[in-house]
Every structure is written in structure tokens, then in C-alpha cells.
């Protein structure tokens, strides 16, 4: 029996409205087309946190994934990846306080639903996440650390080349869910304060990112294909890691 989806109260829906009001104009300017198309595909709306009963059906139809409500505020890597392997995307039951619109150290429903879900509605993206998780569960926690940095600097905070290189954004767009869901981080990311350099695993894999400070250096994926191959690239670079036996 599936755990029923959490029913958010009116204050939580109001927080969603406030976040949407601030972030959507910014997102429309800076976001990748993959994210923008996803917003339409899954029917996210400004007025309330999505109805996850409906959203779950939408995802099952679109990409064959399930949404699963979890009371755990921050799932550890193993649990997170084991769910992804089963094509289950965990949805938190927590939303930031209205006095902390700019910042939450723990991913909340705004981050999950506004940041991640639009991209997860793309079959190729969902397949990539699935593939990533299938690899991730084969490594120990220690070995997985640098794989976690790959996730962080692409899925959460990556840019992607898109559009005309001579356009006002220099042909790059926000791709990561963490950028999409954070107003301050998004604005900073497109300012001169953040160094934006081409994606290269060696550049970030041993950086231990902190969820408590904004980034000063971020990475640009050349294409969606580059993302799709990134996890195999990581595997090839780490032949010394012993793959755990399947169980
Ligand atoms: Fe995230």
C-alpha cells in the first residue's frame, strides 16, 4: 500500500505562491528549454503546491516513474539512489518557512517540485537519472563521494549551452535544479561573481560542496549528450574502484 501523499496546509501553499512570484520571471529568463518545457508538460501552477496524486499519474504516463512521499527530510545517498533505481522519485513533506524564502539547507518541496520535476518529465533525462542511480548503488559511500560531486555540479547546479552564443546570456542557460529553485543563487550564477567554466570532471570531482554557501565557480555542459555520457566517463576514470557485487 502506497503511503498517501502529504496534505500541505494553506500557509504552505501561500509560501509556494510567494516563491513562484519571485522565481518564475527569473526562471523564464535564465532556464534551459528542457526545464521550461517540463513546467508546461506537468502543469505546474503558481497558485499551489502540486496535487501529487495527480502528479504521480502524470509521471507514470509520461516517463514510467512513480512519485513517493517521504517523511524523511533528507534521505541519505543509499536510500535516495535505491529509490531512483526503482524509478521512484522521493517527494519531501517539508517546505521552508516564509521568513526563509531565500534559503533552506534541506531540500524542500519547492526544490523538489519546482527544481527537479520539470526536468524529470523528459524521458531522456529520467533515463539518465535511472542510469546514474544504477551505477551509484554499486559503489561504497566513500567511493561514491566524487560521483556525488558529479551529481551536484550537473543535476543540481549545472549550466548548459543553449541558444545563440551571442545572445544576452552568452548562449548558456541554467540547468540544475538547485539553480532553478534558488532565487539568490540563480541571480548570482548569472553575474560576474561566478566563474563559469566548461564542464570537466577533474575540475570538481574532489570538491566537497557545501549547501550553506553560494557557489563561486560553476560548470557548463556542452550538451544534453555530454550529461548522458558523464556517468560512464566517471566510471572510466575510476577503474580502481571495486564494484560491489550485486545483491
Ligand atoms: Fe536536488
Which protein residues have their CB within 5 A of the ion that is ligand 1? Answer: 177
pLDDT beyond 60 at 82: yes
Is the pLDDT assigned to residue 242 strictly greater than 70? Answer: no
The CATH T-level fold of domain 10-237 is 1.10.800
List Cα–Cα distances, 24 to 17, 18, 34, 189, 199, in angstroms.
Answer: 10, 10, 15, 16, 26
166 CA to centre of ligand 1 in angstroms:
30
pTM for this prediction: 0.94
How many CA atoms are closer than 13 Å to the CA of 203, on its beta-carbon side?
A: 14
Q: Using the predicted structure, report yes or no on whether residue 73 has a pLDDT greater than 80.
A: no
Ligand 1 centroid distance, CA of 108 (Å): 9
- The Å distance, Cα 35 to ligand 1 centre, comes to 14
Place of cell 508538460: 41
Beta strands 159-161 and 172-174 are: antiparallel
For residue 64, what pLDDT band results from cuts at 50, 70 and 90?
very high
Cα(112) to ligand 1 centroid in Å equals 6
pLDDT interval class at 145 (50, 70, 90): confident
The pLDDT of residue 205: 86
Q: How far is the CA of 214 from the centre of ligand 1 (A)?
A: 15
Residue ranges per domain, the chain? 10-237
pLDDT band, residue 44 (cuts 50/70/90)? very high
Span from the CA of 4 to the centroid of ligand 1 (angstroms): 22
Amino acid at each position: 500500500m502506497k503511503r498517501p501523499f502529504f496534505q500541505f496546509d494553506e500557509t504552505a501553499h501561500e509560501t509556494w505562491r510567494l516563491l513562484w512570484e519571485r522565481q518564475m520571471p527569473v526562471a523564464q529568463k535564465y532556464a534551459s528549454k528542457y526545464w521550461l518545457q517540463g513546467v508546461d508538460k506537468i502543469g505546474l501552477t503558481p497558485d499551489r503546491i502540486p496535487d501529487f496524486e495527480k502528479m504521480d499519474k502524470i509521471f507514470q504516463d509520461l516517463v514510467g516513474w512513480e512519485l513517493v512521499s517521504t517523511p524523511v527530510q533528507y534521505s541519505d545517498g543509499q536510500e535516495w539512489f535505491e529509490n531512483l533505481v526503482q524509478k521512484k522519485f522521493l517527494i519531501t513533506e517539508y517546505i521552508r518557512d516564509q521568513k526563509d524564502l531565500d534559503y533552506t539547507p534541506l531540500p524542500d518541496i519547492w526544490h523538489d517540485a519546482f527544481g527537479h520535476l520539470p526536468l524529470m518529465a523528459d524521458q531522456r533525462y529520467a533515463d539518465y537519472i535511472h542510469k546514474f542511480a544504477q551505477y551509484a548503488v554499486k559503489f561504497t559511500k566513500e567511493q561514491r563521494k566524487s560521483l556525488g560531486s558529479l551529481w551536484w555540479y550537473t543535476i543540481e547546479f549545472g549550466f548548459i549551452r543553449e541558444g545563440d552564443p551571442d545572445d544576452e546570456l552568452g548562449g548558456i542557460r541554467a540547468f540544475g535544479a538547485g539553480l532553478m529553485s534558488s532565487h539568490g543563487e540563480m541571480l548570482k550564477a548569472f553575474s560576474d561573481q561566478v566563474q563559469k567554466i566548461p564542464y570537466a570532471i577533474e575540475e570538481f570531482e574532489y570538491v566537497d560542496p557545501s549547501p550553506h554557501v553560494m557557489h563561486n565557480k560553476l560548470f557548463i555542459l556542452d550538451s544534453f549528450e555530454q550529461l548522458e555520457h558523464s556517468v560512464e566517463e566517471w566510471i572510466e576514470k575510476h577503474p580502481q574502484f571495486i564494484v560491489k557485487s550485486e545483491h
